Structure 1
Amino acid sequence: MSFQILGTGSFTPERVVENEELSNYVETSDEWITKRIGVKQRHVCTTETTADMGEQAARRALENAGVRAEELDLIIGATISADTISPGLAGMVQNRIGAHCPAFDINVACPGFLFALDTAAGFFERKTVKKVLVVSSERMSGLVDWTDRGTCCIFGDGSGAAVLGEGDSYLASELHTKGGEDVIAIPTWWNNSPFYQKELRKNCVFMQGQETYKFAVTAMPADIKAVLEKAGLRGEDVSIVIPHQANYRIINEARKRLPEIDPEKFCVNIDRYGNTSAASVPILLDEMNRAGKLRRGDIVVLAAFGGGLSNAACVLRW
């Protein structure tokens, strides 16, 4: 027993920031950002919170699935930008949509949605749940340094969710973590103690771009190959690939390293949303679902990488 995806949902704030507008905050241009990252615009919160976005994505996923909130047996949140340490994103969403079930968050940065799916699979395997909501929501605009063009040009805000039900469509997964803060780090301010003497770093995204690139272009193709082998599938069997939208050059390099999968099967929306961290994969998944690009029986591959350093992939039968 694993699960099947019953429905998807997503939400992004109304405010859109195009590349040229960023030149008001940092030395950059549309040409520079487009060439190096592939982003043309991103959605940013003005009044919305992480929980606000998560609630909307959850409601849309429930509607798409034809499932009532009261039917949920579990909610798993995936975020690095929760509004509060406690309650977490999942608990806030549970309260707002009127669900009555356990709810907890996981923090694995950009691969968080995939780690959450694998966590949910364990509950289905033990037959302790029948319907689960997985929701990822990120307000990255509040975590970037808007004077650092190496990071502020990349990220955007948004949320994505999926409702899972009993089934056998989750075919294989691959999860990895290589702990450390040398490549990507987002420090947290724990500065209330009068006894702590060590200097605290600013709580914004610190990232070594070149090292992140090298990590990603190796990890993503390797994970996709691994899950296909576990599932007894070939690249030719894949109907669609939903990769993490971190950088267009990374996605393009992954295509080249997976020649057995048609390059056209790799979906891209980074130009319109930027990198929304853990929300990236479910936003794109929802977009493809609502566009009618996913058909029953399709083999769908999800892959992501990010802070931790962590990386993950899974293969589903739609």
Structure 2
Amino acid sequence: MTQSHTRLAGVAAHLPETTLSTAELEDRLAERNPTLDLPRGLIHEHSGVRRRHIALPHEKPSDLAAHAARRVLEDNDLRAADLDLLIYAGVSSDAVEPATGHIVAAKIGACCPVFDVRNACNSVLNAIQVADALISAGRHRRVLVCCGELPTAGTPWTVASAEEYVTVAASYTVSDAGAALLLEAGSEPGVLAHRFSAYSAGWQAAVSAVDNLTTDPWAGRPTIGPLVVDSAGLVRGIENIDYAVFHKPLADLGLTWDDFAAVCVHQATLPTLWWFCDQVRIPQGKVVVTIAQHGNLVAATLLVQLARVVGSGRVRRGDLVALVGLASGASAGIVVVRW
């Protein structure tokens, strides 16, 4: 098979219409923990999150991914039968087995090979890396990368103490979403570079346990344990990652951050976002900010941001975009694309 380039054909996002403000969330927590004096304003103060999206009670991660997948196919006048490969790249999954990619494919009517790629909030970036390798090698011509995130299923509505509330506070910042990216073989490169790094010794800084995973994944919404985060430990993990992972691809391409129409950066909290941008010298005006009004969208974050800037016209065909990933583990990465 001949070598080809990978172009970005389309992107779509699905954000559930139902939302929950941080004030409303705090009201609900107060009602369910009447004996505790839980501090008001803590969530917004430390995360910047004002609102998050909540999927419908019957929806699963595959449903959210399927919504976005159908939209990107429709936007490109394609059918699911036109896909050569489907890669599911969400942190959330419908079941331990089979791969959630099978469930998404069945729901949209695809008959192509599928598999899952999972690396916390960098799952989508790693899936783009894999898709680019397969397309460039001539193995596939049209690949759909999709994810469906349902992290609100793990929201701990009752806590034993104010101390526990602080420990699981990250669980109150997350948001449900679906996203999809269509990649195709092309004569001109769309995926220009990708580079990744990890500091795996810091994996314990952010953990969502599977101890509470339901034994019947089809009975109601899937459940997971709360996200327990050691904020200081997570920051140390990010600091231990060599920031050359972000700078070298740009240098190799002869680019600076100013050359990009938009820089999409994973966002767990607003303060951490601006701290990180300062560390790697990303101009704030280039960043697509979603954390305040949409919460932490987990692995869907970067594609939701890309869909927003493409949909608004901020990014047009031929423009450069950087997708910058940060994830628990800890891992970091960048994918440089020309839209």
Structure 2 length-normalised TM: 0.84
Report matched runs for 1:232-311 at 5 Å.
232-259=254-281, 261-311=282-332
Cα distance in 1 for partners of 2:104, 2:145 equals 11
Report the Cα distance in structure 2 between the residues aligned to 1:156 and 1:90, rounded to whole angstroms.
Answer: 21
Aligned to 1:152: 171
Aligned to 1:311, the other structure's residue is in SS state: strand
Q: Does residue 60 of structure 2 align to residue 49 of structure 1? A: yes
Aligned partner of residue 5 in structure 2, secondary structure:
coil
Deviation, structure 1 residue 217: 6.3
Change in Cα spacing, 1:9 to 1:104, as seen in structure 2 (3 Å) is same
2:79 pairs with 1:68: yes
Please report how far the alpha carbon of residue 72 of structure 1 lies from its aligned counterpart in structure 2 after TM superposition. Answer: 0.4
CA distance in 2, matches of 1:219, 1:35: 27
- Which residue in the other structure is 1:215 paired with? 237
Provide the identity percentage. Answer: 27
Counterpart pick for 2:50 among 22, 40, 45: 40
Whole-Å separation in 2 of the counterparts to 1:266 and 1:9: 19
Could you tell me how far 1:222 is from its partner in structure 2?
4.5
Q: CA RMSD in A?
A: 2.3
Contact 2:13/2:179 (CA < 8 Å) preserved in 1?
yes
Bigger CA drift: 131-140 or 177-186?
A: 177-186
Residue pair 1:44, 1:141 contacting (<8 A) in 2 also: yes
Letter in 1 for 2:178: S
Match of 1:195 in 2: none
Q: Which residues in structure 2 correspond to 1:114-193 (within 5 Å)? A: 114-146=125-157, 147=159, 148-149=165-166, 150-167=169-186, 168-180=189-201, 181-189=203-211
Structure 1 counterpart SS, 2:314 = coil
Is contact 1:219–1:305 with CA below 8 Å preserved after alignment? Answer: no
Native 8 Å contact 2:84 2:142 kept in 1: yes
**Alpha-carbon separation, structure 1, partners of 2:65 and 2:146:** 6
Q: Check the 8 A contact 1:186/1:204 in 2, yes or no.
A: yes
**Match of residue 35 from structure 2:** none
C-alpha distance in structure 2 between counterparts of 1:272 and 1:317, whole Å:
27
SS of equivalent residue, structure 1 residue 314: strand
Mark the runs of 5 or more structure 2 residues left unpaired by the alignment: 31-37, 160-164, 215-223
Q: Distance in 2 between the 1:220 and 1:164 partners?
A: 29
Instruction: Classify 1:85/1:272 alpha carbon distance in 2 versus 1 (closer, same or farther; 3 Å).
Output: same
Asked if the contact 1:38/1:271 (under 8 Å) is kept, the reply is yes
CA distance in 2 between counterparts of 1:265 and 1:190 reads 40
Q: CA deviation at 1:218?
A: 6.7
For residues 218 and 273 of structure 1, what CA distance do their matches in structure 2 show? 29
Q: CA deviation at 1:221?
A: 5.5
Partner SS state of residue 280, structure 1: helix
Q: C-alpha offsets along residues 239-270 of structure 1, whole Å, 9 cap, x if unaligned? A: 210111211112212332344x5321111011
Q: CA offset at residue 99 of structure 1? A: 1.1
Q: Secondary structure at the match of 2:29?
A: coil
Equivalent residue, structure 2, for 1:226: 248
Residue 225 of structure 2 aligns to which amino acid in structure 1?
A: N
Match of residue 221 from structure 2: none
CA distance, structure 1, for counterparts of residue 71 and residue 48 of structure 2: 28
In 2 relative to 1, CA 275–66 (structure 1 residues): closer, same or farther, beyond 3 Å?
same
Q: Is the 8 A contact 2:53 2:176 kept in 1?
A: yes
- Pick closer, same or farther for the CA change 1:12–1:128 going to 2, 3 Å: same
